[in-house]
């Protein structure tokens, strides 16, 4: 993790009076540092997909900073909740300040709950590869570096693992991207919810420099490339919690 991105990210937990000063200081960095994140591109739907079973299914995906990935899927029709968290490591190390060391095995991840009769697992992956992140970057995403920002799919079962593996092979064979997909598939990993101040961060902080520069373009790409799946009002963790 770069020092600049670490500083930018941690200000979310600071008092309001410190926050305004920090945002001003980081703003110049966020707007002048080139982003390596690939722009959203149109990609084919997966040939193999998971069958719709039950009224609810879960996908856990990692693609860099969870703020943007969560924000994207909160705007996807058929998604009923998207929670930021950690996957890939142990429960004891599922804490932001510890995960930031890059030595825990965790990746910043998002647990996406969706209605499989409205959007399939394969369609979730299509959004993930197309607009949520750049799957060709290895152990980094845009300005953030380290294994905690790796591109990873954490399948819930064997069928999801097969769909994910087949889709990566399909996209690589079609040479959709300029480089090979670096996304790993890591089954059998538990998901741990992140701290409350990370939830709904994109929606609650739309003028935050990191969000403006790195994540709001993803929302625009979602709207442009998937107009039939885009929802203008995001489904928020706070609202899902209140309805339970």
Q: DSSP letters of the chain? A: --HHHHHHHHGGGS-HHHHHHHHHHHHHHHHHSPP-PPPP---PPPSS-PPP-SS-EEEEEEES-HHHHHHHHHTBTTEEEEEEEEESS-GGG-SHHHHTTS-SS-EEEEEEEE-TTTS-HHHHHHHIIIII--TT-SSEETTEESGGG-EEEE-SSHHHHHHHHHHHHHHHHTT-SSS----EE--S--EEEPPGGGTTHHHH-TT-HHIIIIIHHHHHHHHHH-TTTB-SSPPPHHHHHHH-
State pTM to two decimals: 0.86
Output the pLDDT for position 28: 41
Please give the share of the chain, as a percent, with pLDDT higher than 70.
Answer: 82
Output the pLDDT for position 239: 83
| Distance, CA of 236 to CA of 200 (rounded, Å) | 6
Output the pLDDT for position 243: 58
Given a cut of 70, whether residue 4 has pLDDT beyond it is: no
Closest CA to 122 of 76, 167, 176: 167
Between 18-27, 35-44, 217-226, the lowest mean confidence (pLDDT) is in 18-27
Average pLDDT, the chain: 87
For the range 174-178, what are the long-range contacts, defined as Cβ-Cβ under 8 Å and sequence gap of 24 or more? Answer: 174/44, 176/41, 176/43, 176/44, 177/38, 177/41, 177/135, 177/136, 178/136
Output the pLDDT for position 39: 61
Catalytic sites, residue numbers: 65
Closest CA to 112 of 61, 185, 53, 168: 61
Given a cut of 90, whether residue 155 has pLDDT beyond it is: yes
Given a cut of 70, whether residue 29 has pLDDT beyond it is: no
pLDDT tens figures, 73-116? 999 999 999 999 999 999 999 999 999 999 999 999 999 999 99
pLDDT tens figures, 156-197? 999 999 999 999 999 999 999 999 999 999 999 999 999 999
Output the pLDDT for position 51: 95
Closest CA to 63 of 34, 94, 32, 84: 84
79 strand-pairing partners: 114
Given a cut of 70, whether residue 152 has pLDDT beyond it is: yes
| Distance, CA of 155 to CA of 132 (rounded, Å) | 17
Please give the share of the chain, as a percent, with pLDDT higher than 90.
Answer: 81
Output the pLDDT for position 27: 43
In this structure, are residues 141 and 134 in contact, taking their beta carbons and an 8 Å threshold?
Answer: yes
pLDDT tens figures, 210-242? 999 999 999 999 999 999 999 999 999 988 766
Q: Can you tell me the mean pLDDT for 16-33?
A: 39
Output the pLDDT for position 63: 97
Residue 31 corresponds to which tokens in the numbers above? 């707007």
Output the pLDDT for position 240: 76
Given a cut of 80, whether residue 126 has pLDDT beyond it is: yes
Output the pLDDT for position 26: 41
């Amino acid at each position: 993790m770069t020092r600049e991105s670490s500083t930018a990210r941690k200000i979310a937990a600071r008092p309001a009076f410190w926050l305004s000063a920090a945002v001003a200081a980081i703003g110049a960095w966020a707007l002048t540092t080139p982003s390596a994140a690939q722009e959203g591109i149109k990609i084919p739907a997966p040939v193999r997909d998971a069958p719709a079973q039950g009224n609810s299914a879960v996908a856990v995906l990692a693609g860099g900073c969870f703020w943007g990935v969560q924000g994207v899927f909160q705007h996807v029709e058929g998604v009923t909740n998207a929670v930021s968290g950690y996957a890939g490591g142990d429960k004891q190390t599922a804490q932001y300040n510890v995960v930031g060391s890059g030595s825990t095995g965790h990746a910043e991840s998002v647990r996406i709950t969706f209605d499989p009769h409205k959007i399939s697992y394969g369609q979730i992956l299509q959004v993930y590869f197309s607009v949520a992140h750049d799957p060709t970057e290895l152990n980094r995403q845009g300005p953030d570096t380290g294994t905690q920002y790796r591109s990873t799919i954490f399948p819930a079962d064997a069928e999801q693992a097969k769909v994910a593996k087949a889709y990566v092979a399909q996209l690589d064979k079609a040479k959709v991207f300029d480089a090979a997909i670096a996304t790993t598939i890591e089954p059998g990993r538990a998901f741990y919810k992140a701290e409350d101040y990370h939830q709904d961060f994109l929606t609650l902080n739309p003028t935050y420099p990191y969000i403006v520069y790195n994540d709001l373009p993803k929302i625009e790409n979602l709207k442009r490339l998937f107009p039939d799946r885009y929802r203008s009002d995001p489904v928020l963790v706070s609202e899902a919690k209140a309805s339970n």
